[in-house]
Amino acid sequence: MVDSTLFIDILLWAVYLLLAASVAMAVWSAVHGVRTHESSADPIAARRTSMIGYATAGLVAVCLLLTYLLASTQPVVTNGKPFTDTLWLRLTDMFIYTSILLICLCSAIVVVAKFRR
């Protein structure tokens, strides 16, 4: 019989590694974007582009905050044991709800952009 805790440890380390890699790539992408950002000859277009970036970051931050505040703190039974840590319950709900909301919003934007032209 295979020890299942070995696979759980491997899975957790893989998730930690992927999290670290994605955070590193996000930071690198942001730094690279700021360094290679070229000023447009049209200041109106440059202002509109920067406002879209700021609005997107702000809306994601507001979405994360709202979904955290609206998240459930009801205990969850996991492997026969109740899980009652409210911080992790709220964070889990926050990421689930934010992911679902952003996927739906992106899908709606793609559909609107497709039929707009």
Task: Write the pLDDT tens digit of every residue in 54-105.
Answer: 888 888 899 999 999 999 999 988 888 888 999 999 999 999 999 999 899 9
Rounded to whole angstroms, how far apart are CA atoms 110 and 24?
28
Q: Tokens for 85, please give them.
A: 């840590």
Task: Write the pLDDT tens digit of every residue in 36-66.
Answer: 766 556 666 667 777 887 888 888 899 999 9
Instruction: Enter the pTM of the model.
Output: 0.61
Place of tokens 């020890």: 3
Q: How many CB atoms lie within 10 A of CB 30?
A: 11
Rounded to whole angstroms, how far apart are CA atoms 89 and 84?
7
**What integer is the mean pLDDT of 25-34?**
85
